């Protein structure tokens, strides 16, 4: 009997190719998500992947130290499913019990990116697109800097331009065409 993927927590697997998850509950969450999309009865293409929430941009976040180290360890065990991290920086300098393989290349998505603010009264700490890319982000995620802008389309273009220029500088101007 074919397993049904139309209810509950599995429904996201029908339409999301990449999801993120915290490993606060342990490695089991990664195993469960991987089994869902890699199972023989999964009716959708198997090109699904996971980003592990390894760090957060809020002041006082507990997603640091041992938690971040565990996030990296779990990602390495499941590198056929985990493609990267939501983090404030590249995690390559964090010492772990396992060794990175030569072909290890996790992507980094950095949230809390703003061109005009350093933070807010709720403890959100922002990086500029340039500083996020310099710290190792492959993708920058912004919110208020775009949706609260007087001209959101113009704001998107500024974020795109600043991020792309910083990325080109970081990788040595490879890929000069946008």
Q: Is 107 left (phi over 0), alpha (psi -120 to 50) or beta?
A: beta
Number of structural domains (the chain) is: 2
Structural domain boundaries enclosing 128: 111-178
Mean pLDDT check: name the lowest of 36-45, 51-60, 149-158.
36-45
User: Mean pLDDT across the chain, nearest whole number?
Assistant: 85
pTM: 0.82
Handedness of CA 109, 138, 167, 152 (dihedral sign): negative
pLDDT value at residue 119: 63
Query: Is residue 100 in a domain?
Result: no
Three-class DSSP category at 70 = helix
| 63 in the same domain as 26 | yes
| 154 in the same domain as 85 | no
| 82 in the same domain as 1 | yes
Span 144-151, average pLDDT: 92
Three-class DSSP category at 14 = helix
Three-class DSSP category at 113 = strand
């Amino acid at each position: 009997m074919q397993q049904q993927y139309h209810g509950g927590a599995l429904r996201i697997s029908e339409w999301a190719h990449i999801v993120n998850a915290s490993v606060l509950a342990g490695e089991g969450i990664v195993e469960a998500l991987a089994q869902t999309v890699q199972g023989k009865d999964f009716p959708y293409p198997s090109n699904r992947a996971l980003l592990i929430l390894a760090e957060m941009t809020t002041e006082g976040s507990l997603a640091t130290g041992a938690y971040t180290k565990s996030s990296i360890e779990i990602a390495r065990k499941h590198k056929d499913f985990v493609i990267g991290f939501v983090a404030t920086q590249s995690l390559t300098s964090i010492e772990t019990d396992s060794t990175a393989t030569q072909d290890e290349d996790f992507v980094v998505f950095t949230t809390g990116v703003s061109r005009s603010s350093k933070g807010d009264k709720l403890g959100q700490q922002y990086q500029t697109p340039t500083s996020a890319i310099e710290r190792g982000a492959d993708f920058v995620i912004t919110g208020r800097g775009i949706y609260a802008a007087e001209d959101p389309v113009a704001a998107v273009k500024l974020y795109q331009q600043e991020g792309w220029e910083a990325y080109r500088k970081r990788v040595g101007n490879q890929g000069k065409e946008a």
